[in-house]
Amino acid sequence: MAREKDGMRVGEEEVRGKVRGLLAARDPAEGEPLEFLRARFDAGLAWVHFPVRLGGLGAPRALQAVVDAELAAVGAPDNDPGRIGIGLGMAAPTILRYGTEEQKLRFLRPLWTGEEVWCQLFSEPGAGSDLAGLRTRAIREGADGTDGTDGAGDWIVDGQKVWTSGAHNARWAILIARTDPDLPKHQGITYFVCDMTDPGVEVRPLRQITGEAEFNEVFLTGVRIPDAHRLGAVGEGWRVAQATLMNERVAIGGTALPREGGMIGPAAEVWRARPELRTPELHDRLLTLWVESEVARLSAERVRQQLAVGAPGPEGSGLKLAFAGLNQRISGLEVELLGEEGLRYGDWTMVRPRSVDFYGRDAGYRYLRAKGNSIEGGTSEILRNIIAERVLALPAEPRTDKDAAWKELPR
């Protein structure tokens, strides 16, 4: 992950020098924040472990913390990562790994600066846990059959996607679609970048238990995608999608947090501030959850260190599984601690939020929003299977449809 420059390893001093050079050239207190972010990207300080010209320096990933700390200390603007989390955590690493040079140069800079928001068009009404069973079709215009492998035209996409966070704000989407129904379900899928502003893309809100609609369903009707927006080879979409999913689970469950960061912080604060609410039983539960949260936080740190030497593996599924369970149990305990107050939820209003907020507002919101954690980013049931088979090497579940053509599968 390190880059050699004139025989020298790119290290901390060079990275700090780049930060000093950026600040000397651009005062973050003056001018538009976007201009500073663009200059930061061009200086290689967006994600230092990315290659030169793509927002990085080819330096060790751990040095990103040095950059972030120095820029935060002088009040430099950030790129509002909560708003562009799907682009940062899922689209960017996939484009870096599988994209062409033209795709990397086109998409990564405006993705990181926040000029272009991304969403993920994977799940479908009949293909959530069994994502490989998806029905959305992409047929290559001018092909001499339906397999989408011949001809040189655009791809025409028809189908429906669901549970799409932030689709109402997105300019681009990462999309998987079936390009060959004659192959087994995992083999006939291709991965695309879809322009959410194109004709035929319709976004409809899905109102959640919180009252908001950060999720959406997306209808694709005759959407034209140029072949230049295909990521990876035709028919290799499942392999490309696995890279996205592994990064997604780390992005959700492996966020860097301080001690008592995340859901445990508000619960612990209620415990300290409201002694009249305490009972021995609640104390034991809170202490247990505090310890489990700390274990999860340190485990996430270890996985992030492993990322410095390679792509995320199935261990990220464990992080995301722990994240979901802990959030639900901690938010439930917080509601119990507050008693009648915990039953109040102050703002059950239909809004279309700009970003996903797991922890914000009051205890009632946290309790309701945490219910979605066991579904988004891979259901807890599927993640347990992944951990069992790929981490613990337990026998795989029988899969009778593995080698059958997708079009022959019962639906």
Instruction: Please provide the DSSP assignment of 91-130 as one string.
Output: IHHHHHHH--HHHHHHHHHHHHHTSS-EEEE--BTTBSTT
Q: Classify 58 in phi/psi space as left (phi over 0), alpha (psi -120 to 50) or beta.
A: left
Q: Tell me phi and psi for residue 236, to 5 degrees.
A: -105, 20
Do the beta carbons of residue 240 and residue 232 sit within 8 Å?
Answer: yes
Helix (H) or strand (E) segment spanning residue 160: strand 155-162
Judged by DSSP in three states, 357 sits in: coil
Residue 136, H or E segment = none
| Res. 146 pLDDT band, cuts 50 70 90 | very low
Phi, psi of 98 (to 5 degrees): -115, -10
Do residues 339 and 126 touch, judged by C-beta distance below 8 A? Answer: no
pLDDT in tens, 35-56: 999 999 999 999 999 999 999 9
Sequence-distant (≥ 6) Cβ neighbours of residue 120 within 8 angstroms: 86, 90, 91, 164, 165, 173, 174, 244, 248
**By three-state DSSP, how is residue 18 classified?**
helix
CB 316 within 8 A of CB 253: yes
pLDDT band at 380 (very low <50, low <70, confident <90, very high): confident
Q: Which two tokens stand for residue 178?
A: 């079936």
Catalytic residues: 248
Taking the C-alpha atoms of residue 81 and residue 112, their distance in angstroms, rounded to an integer, is 9
Nearest alpha carbon to residue 88 among 80, 76, 99, 100: 80
- Range of weakest confidence among 14-23, 113-122, 277-286: 277-286
Residue partners of 303: CB distance under 8 A and separation at least 6: 250, 254, 312, 315, 316, 319
pLDDT class of 312 with cuts at 50, 70, 90: low
Q: Which range, of 15-19, 291-295, 343-347, averages the lowest pLDDT?
A: 343-347
Question: For residue 3, what pLDDT is reported?
Answer: 47
Give the tokens for residue 384: 């347990």
Asked whether the predicted pLDDT for residue 8 surpasses 60, the reply is: no
Q: What local confidence, expressed as pLDDT, does residue 326 receive?
A: 95
Q: Using one digit for the tens of pLDDT, what is the confidence trace for 90-104?
A: 999 999 999 999 999
Instruction: Give the pLDDT of residue 148.
Output: 44
* 147 vs 197 pLDDT, higher one: 197
**pLDDT tens digits, residue range 348-366?**
778 888 887 788 788 988 9
pTM for the predicted model, two decimal places: 0.87
Contacts of 11 (CB under 8 A, 6+ apart): 59, 63
Query: Which carries the bigger pLDDT value, residue 180 or residue 254?
Result: 180
What are the φ and ψ backbone dihedral angles of 356, each rounded to 5 degrees? Answer: -80, 135
The alpha-carbon radius of gyration of the chain (Å, integer) is 23
Question: In the prediction, which pLDDT does 145 show?
Answer: 44
Give the chain's domains with CATH numbers: 13-78 (no CATH), 88-237 (2.40.110.10), 243-391 (1.20.140.10)
pLDDT at position 64: 92
Mean pLDDT across the chain, nearest whole number?
Answer: 89
Quick check: helix, strand or coil at residue 78?
coil
Residue 198 confidence (pLDDT) above 80: yes
Please give the structure tokens belonging to residue 135: 């029905």
Report residue 96 CA to chain centroid gap.
15
Structure tokens at 333: 């305990």
Q: What is the mean pLDDT of residues 154-170?
A: 96
Confidence of residue 283 (pLDDT cuts 50, 70, 90): very high
In sequence order, what E strands does 207-290 have?
Answer: 215-225, 230-231
Higher pLDDT, 72 or 403: 72
Contact 334, 366 (CB under 8 A): yes
CA–CA dist 319, 292 (Å, integer): 12
CB atoms within 10 A of CB 205: 16
Helix-helix angle 101-113:33-42, to 10 degrees:
140
User: Residue 199's pLDDT is what?
Assistant: 97
Amino acid 308: pLDDT: 60
